[in-house]
Amino acid sequence: MTKRELYINRELSWLKFNERVLEEAAREDVPLCERLNFLSIYQSNLDEFFMVRVGSLVDQMTLSRDLRDNKTHLTAEEQIRAVLDQVQTLDARKTAVYDDLLAQLEAQGLRLVDFRKIGQEEGRALEAYFDTEIAALLSPIMVGKRQPFPFLRSGMIYAVVELTGKNGKEKLGIIPCGAGVFPRLIAVPGRPGESMLSEELILHFIYKVFKGYRVKSKSLIRITRNADIDADALYDEDLDYREFMVELIKRRRRLAPVRLELSRQLDEGIVTALCRYADVPEAYVLRSGTPLDLSFLGQMADTLRQSPELFYERFIPQRSPDFHSGRPILEQIREKDKLLSYPYQSMRPFLDLLQEAANDDRVISIKMTLYRVARQSKVVEALIEAAENGKEVFVLVELKARFDEENNIEWSRRLEDAGCQVVYGLDGYKVHSKLCLITRKGADQVEYYTQIGTGNYNEKTARLYTDLSLMTADPEIGLNAAAVFQALALGETVEESPVLMVAPHCLQNQVLDRINGEIAHARAGEPAYIGFKINSLTDKTIIDRLIEASQAGVQVDMIVRGICCLRPGVPGATENLRVISIVGRFLEHSRIYIFGTEERRQVYISSADLMTRNTLRRVEVAVPIRDPDLRQRLVESFRVMLRDNQQARQLDASGVYTRVRNEEPPLNSQAYFCRQALEAAAAARQESAEDGQPS
């Protein structure tokens, strides 16, 4: 096998990840309503993939048809062609899963119908509903010389009809179906539990809108537009950056289409005309076997909440036993480093930390990087309170957090109004680090309290994503964090960082140095080990060094949820490298780096995946876990995930993922951590009760 054959294309690897999501929707041992959720996630993932990744490939192809992926050497055009082929294959599987789930919903008393599945009486009732509740709200368009083809909004469903007039001339009619004007699911009168999609109702009665014409063919369509805008390339330094981003969001809504979906087969001529009008290459037209937007599945699932067996067993994040109620959080962190593991443990101690700092007379400043925050953010509210209490509050709000720009813009305005110093990121780099620094006057010196995490400061996702959050009073880590914030305030990035790994200048090189160290141990005949838990692996420099490590005899274990561009298990090249992916109830999001065997082990948690965009084009932070107890806890957690034989799939040398099957006792790592959190919290409550302390 040649060196090039050891790589897997990034886009095709991502589709393999989304296929694993689809497989969860197909699993009979997953509760029905959770399967509905997985199917909806599969589609929303795919929508974003077309908007961002396919959009990026289209841009590359526009620049030059000779540009090639640096690993598999495919051109952008070749990658798009392979993506479209794979998506069509996956769509057939999606349709089969969808049909199966609808059949199971019927057994629960819910039925999604169309006009082939209802009687005349119900049909007349729906027609009356259309006439009285919908028809007057429609905005039909007849395409012609005096009424040009309309702009089609990305993600919106439209009813399209090919019409023939009395004079024999053919026309094209279009009706937007939605935008919140009427409910997506319309109850069938007199048939409890039965409903119809509003776009299907509109399409059926579309002849009543275009009176005087004969309907020749009709379909529902949906456009997906490119959302990949390079903000830094377009930015003019004479503009207010926040207002520039507001305009950029508006511009993104009008970018070129990268996909046209059809719900029904249309005449080839009309498809050609649609593509010409909408400026969509015909190769990007996909026929869907399911409704074009599956978000309504969540609405159907919500009607079954009275049946808990159709959902995962309810789990509430537990309070960490490492924190004791009634004592100041800052004091507890000063005594010993703390590590929270979301969603198994609650985010509450970190929120309490911010609240406490906001009201502590000795606290001088709070500095923080914000990438994605909740719509109703207690984190931001605490920062605002701190500023109103006279603290120095410095916040870097990354306005380029894709699809969260509007939320971040609104929060940045509120932070500024409260008196916080707000900056909006750096030229040429996204600030993706999860970093918070609290500076406090101690009895005889300045104290630093640093929080570094793998996930966003978002209370909602902290209940859905697996992430890690370190809180430490280590002065060296605090000084390193202070240097990062000082650089950010000046619009710069740190060139050196003795303790923290900080991209873009001192993360990739430090990872490579530690891999090199394990290679040296292996070549000296000593045991050597590397472990990574990340979301994606695409950085070719790191991939090549991992191949070298495997060839030297280093054992490499990788838990890679999504994209993995490295083919493991290839004799003579990557036979010492194992890759698994865990897709389950929670989104695996934490990043852990492990270097070395037990006696010299180094463990880091990080905001950075091993992707070139993270290691070289973003500000990211990885922190060493210095406390031996926390370090051992992370290693044990990593080992549990490696033993998962319920939700894990292993990547083989042929590039195929297969579910892990072995003779070991069944182990679902996420369920294991839920039980562990519940037991630890219960033990802590019992201990508090025995000591007479509040739990």
DSSP calls for 7-48 = B--HHHHHHHHHHHHHHHHH-TTS-HHHHHHHHHHHHHHHHH
What counts of helices (H) and strands (E) characterise the chain?
21, 27
> Of 607, 32, 603, 11, nearest to 337 (Cα)?
603
| Own/partner long-range contacts of 239-243 (Cβ < 8 Å, ≥24 apart) | 241/399, 241/424, 242/399, 242/409, 242/412, 242/413, 242/424
> Of 228, 229, 226, 208, nearest to 218 (Cα)?
208
- Bridge partners, 621 (sequence order): 502
Q: What residues contact residue 282 under an 8 Å CB cut-off, 6+ apart?
A: 271, 272, 275
Measure the CA angle with vertex 650, ends 644 and 655; round to 5°. Answer: 170
Measure the CA angle with vertex 458, ends 36 and 295; round to 5°. Answer: 25
- Torsion region of 66: left, alpha or beta (phi above 0 gives left; psi -120 to 50 gives alpha): alpha
Could you say which of 432, 505, 521, 589 is catalytic? 432
CA atoms within 13 A on the CB side of 596: 12
Q: How many CB atoms are closer than 10 A to CB 444?
A: 5
Q: What residues contact residue 478 under an 8 Å CB cut-off, 6+ apart?
A: 437, 439, 447, 448, 449, 450, 472
Active site residue 521: no
Rounded Cα distance between 467 and 464, Å, is 9
* Torsion sign (Cα): 190, 194, 198, 204: negative
> Of 30, 363, 275, nearest to 355 (Cα)?
363
> Of 661, 673, 662, 679, nearest to 636 (Cα)?
673
The radius of gyration of the chain's CA atoms, rounded to the nearest angstrom, is: 27
Tokens of 388: 């109103």
Rounded Cα distance between 635 and 594, Å, is 8
Helices (H), 472-558: 475-489, 508-523, 540-552
Q: What residues contact residue 29 under an 8 Å CB cut-off, 6+ apart?
A: none
Q: How many CB atoms are closer than 10 A to CB 447?
A: 19
Rounded Cα distance between 99 and 248, Å, is 40
Instruction: Tell me how far CA of residue 309 lies from CA of 21, 29, 272, 403, in angstroms.
Output: 21, 12, 48, 34
Q: What residues contact residue 497 under an 8 Å CB cut-off, 6+ apart?
A: 480, 483, 484, 506
Residues 577, 569 contacting (CB under 8 angstroms): yes
Q: What residues contact residue 77 under an 8 Å CB cut-off, 6+ apart?
A: 61, 65
Q: What residues contact residue 277 under an 8 Å CB cut-off, 6+ apart?
A: 143, 149, 172
Instruction: Tell me how far CA of residue 362 lies from CA of 372, 380, 448, 478, 483, in angstroms.
Output: 29, 21, 12, 17, 21
DSSP character for 562? S
Instruction: Tell me how far CA of residue 580 lies from CA of 79, 358, 453, 668, in angstroms.
Output: 24, 42, 23, 14
Q: Which residues are catalytic?
A: 432
